């Protein structure tokens, strides 16, 4: 994979993750069926942790859930370490 492809993928998956946080917040406000936490963690694991964390702060959503407050930063740190190791 080229660096351009990786950057494009990271940008795309984080935009999608951010939008999912917005949509879930709107559904919560309206009392509608919600996006599962499992889906959010899957998005984070496949590279969308930054988008989810930005969505958490921007929309004040899922900020009281310890699994999100702790889990998302841990996933992001692991991803940074793995990418740093890969590019050394």
The string of pLDDT tens digits covering residues 50-86 is: 999 999 999 999 989 999 999 999 999 999 998 888 7
Q: Taking a C-beta distance cutoff of 8 angstroms, is the pair 74, 41 a contact?
A: no
Residue 79 to residue 84: CA distance in whole angstroms: 8
Please give the pLDDT value at position 84: 86
Reduced to 3 states, what is the DSSP secondary structure of residue 73?
A: helix
Please give the pLDDT value at position 53: 96
Please give the pLDDT value at position 57: 95
> CA 72, 75, 81, 84 torsion: positive or negative?
negative
Q: Would you say the pTM of this structure is higher than 0.85? A: yes
């Amino acid at each position: 994979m080229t660096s351009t492809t990786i950057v494009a993928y990271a940008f795309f998956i984080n935009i999608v993750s951010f939008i999912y946080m917005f949509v879930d917040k709107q559904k919560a406000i309206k009392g509608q069926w919600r996006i599962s936490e499992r889906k959010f963690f899957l998005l984070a694991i496949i590279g969308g942790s930054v988008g989810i964390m930005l969505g958490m702060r921007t929309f004040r959503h899922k900020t009281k859930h310890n699994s999100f407050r702790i889990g998302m930063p841990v996933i992001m740190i692991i991803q940074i370490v793995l990418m740093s190791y890969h590019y050394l």
